[in-house]
Structures are given as structure tokens and as C-alpha cells.
Amino acid sequence: DEIGLIPCPEARYNRSPIVLVENKLGVESWCVKFLLPYVHNKLLLYRQRKQWLNKDELIDITCTLLLLNSDFTTAWNVRKELILSGTLNPLKDLHLGKLALTKFPKSPETWIHRRWVLQQLIQENSLPSLVTKGNLGAAPVERIHRLVQEEMNVCSEAAGRYPSNYNAWSHRIWVLQHLGKLTVKVLLDELSSTKYWVSVHVSDHSGFHYRQFLLKSLIGRTVTDNNVLVQNQMVNEQNPSLQKEEEGAGAEAACADEQSVDLPRRLEEELELCTELIDTYPGHETLWCHSDETLNNAHHSPATSHMAQVMDVDGLNESSSKQGYTQETKRLKRAPMQDSLGPEMEYRFIDKVLSTCRDADQARFATAYRKWLVTFLGQ
Amino acid sequence: MRLYSLSVLYKGDPKVHLLKAAYDVSTFNFFQRSSVQEFMTFTSQLIVERSELGSRASVKEQEYLCHVYVRNDGLAGVVIADNEYPQRVCFTLLDKVLDEFSRQVSKIDWPSGSPATISYAALDGYLSKFQNPRDADPMTRVQAELDETKIILVRR
């Protein structure tokens, strides 16, 4: 489940340099300068059609090469060809990639190849012949779900092995977009499962950026669902006879989704998390940036204005009299969520930090944050 | 944020020697672990050698921060952490550990002690408990006397 290089500059004993301990594979460093050029050369000769290698040999050689240097694109490409010709099970490459990432957690080529493999697997999923191939044997939805979970684990591991591992976190985002379809459930699950991780990696900018992506996606999701709701309501107005039918799947589903995402509450929680972490761990710029971004999202979120729109339409439907309408508009003008994420709270927080902190960096960040608030919010 | 090692040493004249240590190298690549541990033992010793009696310091070595406290009576403690782990909690930990150690292990044994001869078993427990600074030390902010002590950040 892990590979590594053993620092061992000279071969002292006449024995194999490969060490297997507790399911972890180690290679003594002295042999690398012999092994790597040898396999590298062999592969190049094959590619240049000067020397033939059969499928098994190719699999072995590329595997060795990639465990020594996982950014060797040609080796990954050879494996792509093997997968496309049906000789190599794509799941093997997911495993190989996972292993390579224990030693090279950033390796761009490994992540790129991984996405290619996942795309192959998704495409396979839509073909009816999948069931007989029996790669995983489970129903397609279940299969995708398991793939997504596994990818989340791999990303998390890699993120832990290298600080601010941009490649790992971008891959994570890609998986949610292409495999997870950015469902509300997936987004919320990810928010809760990464909360502890970011709390113990407070200067990992990529980790917090991921949470921003999750929140923005949730906002986008809520807008889409609200749009559906609004459209349905507008259709109802024009065609009262259709109203009963419209109260079917579309509007209800949108309603259900909207209800399960209390967006203002989520944003508030995120800001609370930031505040708590800033207080506990002074002097981490990442946390202040995250605060900026969250407040930015909250303020500019089209969801807040769209929600108001929905409420407005509701008002129109519920009471036909003009008096009723006026009452409804008064209600939504108070816009409760904007108050709770208001700048006053942030100013008070900054003042508290400045008056109690002793860390020079922390003071600098707090002052900068205040300047940003003033210019940005114009208050 | 992570703690990697916690050691108690004695700053004798002229030599510094290790009395007891605990390590957590589980986050390192499997095959690097023993050499990382050696590095930490060596660095801890070196830092105590270079520190004055009655001083506290935080020294940056590669991507680690080594927090050292050398008491006036020669007993010293070193915590090696990453750069996210809050400094104040480290010094709280060192105070606590050295205090307890000095009560459990008699002073006579310090100049000649070694990990094999010293019987003090609490280090592993402390290292593990303090991995999450919030669980371990809720009183982190109330450190008035600590802030009066000079803390030097040495960058190498």
C-alpha cells in the first residue's frame, strides 16, 4: 500500500535491493541508477519499433518505470494503449496511480492519467455490455458512488503528504464535477468530511479553496433549483388549471433540495469556523483569506436575491389582494440572512483580535482585513 | 499540524545527554522513518547544547520548528513540530513535562542518566494527547507569564 526509496548509497550485501515490509515496497537507492536507465531504454526501443515486447513485459516495464518516476508520460501512454486494446484492466491503473502517489503526491502525469482512466470507466458505465464484463459487479450508480469515495480518499491522502497540494485538490474538484455531478448531497457530505482536515491544516490554502468551491457550487445549485421553482410558479399563474399537475415532481423536488440546503446557515457556519480557527491559531494568512472569500460569497450570492424573488412570488399566489402583497414585500425586504452575516459582526471580531493578539502577523492580517471590508462593502 | 518528537535532556557540563524521548513519525514515508527519527534525536541534542541555561527558543530547521526550554537546573526539553502547530502550546507542554519529570525522577540521576536507565513513561502519552492542541490545552490563551519570557525565533 505504499512505496518508498531506501537511502542506501552502496550495495553492501549480495542480495536483492527490493524490500517488502508490512505491505510496503522499498527500493534501495543504489540500484536505481542501474534499473531506471535499463527499463527506460527498453521502453524507448519498443516505441521506436526496434525491439518487440509482449503485453506482459510491457505491463511490467511500465509499472517499474512509473514507480521510479511517475511523471514519465510515455509509460502512461503505453498503458492507455493496453487499456484500450482490452489487455489491461483500468482498475489496475487506478491502483498503480494510488501507489505512485504515496511517493510522488504531486505528480501531474499521474493525476492526468487517473482522470483519463476514470473517463474510460464512466463511458463503459453507459454501455449495456458492462454487466457481463463484471469489473465491479455492482449497479452503475453504486459503482460510481464507490469510485467517487475512493477518489476522495486518494486525494485526501495525497493532500496530507504534501502541503497545499494543488494537483490533488483540483483532481478532487474534477471528480465531483464529472463523477459526482455536483449533487447537493455530495457537496454537503464533502463539506462535513473536510471540516476536520482543514482545522488541522490551517495554512493549507488549497484545502480552504476546496471548501470555497463547495460553497459556490451549493449557491449555484440553489439558484438553479429556485429558478425551476420560480418558473413553475409563473406557469401556475398563467394557467391555473395546470396548477395541480405542476405540483408534481419538478416543483417538489426543487423544494426538497432547497429545504435541505439552508444556504445562509452554511455560510454562517463557515464564517464561524474561520473565526474560531483564527482565534485559536493566530498568524495564518490562509484563514483570513478564507474569511474574505466566504463573506464575498455571502454578500454577492445571487441566492439571497433569488430567494427573495421566490418569497415574492409566493406572496402573490397566497393572497390576491393588493394589501396581502404589500405585507409580503415588507417581510422579504427585511432580508434576515444578510443581517446575520453583516459586516458589523466582522468589525467587532477584528477589534477584538487587534486588542488581544500578540502575534505581529496576526495584527497585520487583521488590519488588512479591515481595510478590505471598508473598501469592499463601502461601509 | 503535527508534533513529531518530545524529549527530555540534561544539559551537563560539558556534555548534553538524552534522558528520555518519544517520537511520532507515522506521517512520514515508511522507509524514511528511522532516518527521520535519528535526525530528530541529533537535532534535539544539538539545540540544547547551543542554548543557555534558563532560556526558551524556537528554532527553524528545514520545514520543522524545534521548541526548546532549558531550565536553570540543567533539565531541558525539546518539542519538534511542524510550522502550523501553535508555539504557545509547545511551551505549555514543555513546562508541564519538565515539572512532572523533575518530581518523578530524582536529580541525582540526571547527570548520568540515559533512556535505558531512566524510568519515566509519560512522554508517549503526552505526545499523542497534544497532537490536537485544542483538545489537549483549552487554556492556551491564558499564558501571561509565558509572554514575558523572551522567545527567539532563529531562522537557519
Q: Do A26 and B31 touch (CB under 8 A)?
A: yes
Lowest mean pLDDT among A110-119, A329-338, B45-54, B129-138: A329-338
**Residue B11 contacts residue B72 (beta carbons within 8 Å):** no
In a domain, B156, yes or no: no
Q: How large is the average pLDDT for residues A344-366?
A: 76
ipTM exceeds 0.85, yes or no: no
At B108, which amino acid appears?
I
Distance from CA of B144 to the nearest CA of A (A): 11
Phi-psi category of residue A370: left, alpha or beta, with phi > 0 → left and psi -120 to 50 → alpha = alpha
Model confidence at B104, pLDDT cuts 50, 70, 90, reads: very high
Report pTM. Answer: 0.77
A91-100, A224-233, B145-154: range with highest mean pLDDT? A91-100
Q: Give the span between the Cα atoms of B47 and B63, in whole angstroms.
A: 16
Question: Which range (A109-118, A227-236, A351-360, B32-41) has the least confidence?
Answer: A227-236
The answer to whether residue B83 neighbours chain A at the CB level (below 8 Å) is: yes
B132/A22 Cβ within 8 A: no
- Picking from B31, B140, B147, the nearest residue to A6 by CB comes out as B31
**B62 close contact with A: CB closer than 8 A:** no
What's residue A294's pLDDT?
81
- In a domain? residue B70: yes
Residue B113 within any structural domain of the chain: yes
Going by C-alpha positions, the residue among A46, A129, A56, A62 that lies closest to residue A87 is A56
Instruction: Give domain status of residue B121, yes or no.
Output: yes
Chain-centroid distance, C-alpha A351: 34
Using pLDDT thresholds of 50, 70 and 90, give the confidence band for residue B113: confident
Is residue B74 domain-resident? yes
The model's pLDDT over B45-97, given as tens digits with 9 standing for 90+, comes to: 999 999 999 999 999 988 899 999 999 999 999 999 998 898 888 999 999 99
pLDDT on residue A351: 79
- B87 within domain boundaries: yes
Compute the distance between CA of residue A164 and CA of residue A158 in angstroms, rounded to an integer.
10
pLDDT at A337 over 70: no
Is residue A132 predicted with pLDDT exceeding 90? no
- Looking at the domain assignment, is residue B84 inside a domain? yes
Looking at residue B42, what is its pLDDT? 95
Eight-class DSSP state of B72: T
Average pLDDT over residues B114-138: 87
Q: Which of B29, B83, B134 sits opposite A103 (nearest CB)?
A: B29
d(CA A37, nearest CA chain B) in Å = 23
Provide the residue range defining the domain that includes B142. 3-148
Task: Evaluate the CA torsion angle A119, A123, A125, A130 in order and state its sign.
Answer: negative
In A, which residues are within 8 Å of B31 by CB distance? 4-6, 19, 24, 26
Give the per-residue pLDDT at A7: 75
* pLDDT reported for residue A256: 45
Report yes or no: A117 and A93 within 8 Å, Cβ to Cβ.
Answer: yes
> Residue B141's pLDDT is what?
46
Q: How far apart are CA A266 and CA A273, in angstroms?
A: 10
CATH number of the structural domain spanning residue B49? 3.30.450.50
Domain count, chain B: 1
**Residue type present at position A231:** Q
Q: Is B25 a domain residue?
A: yes
The stretch B103-114 carries a mean pLDDT of: 90
The helix (run of H) or strand (run of E) holding residue A241 is: none
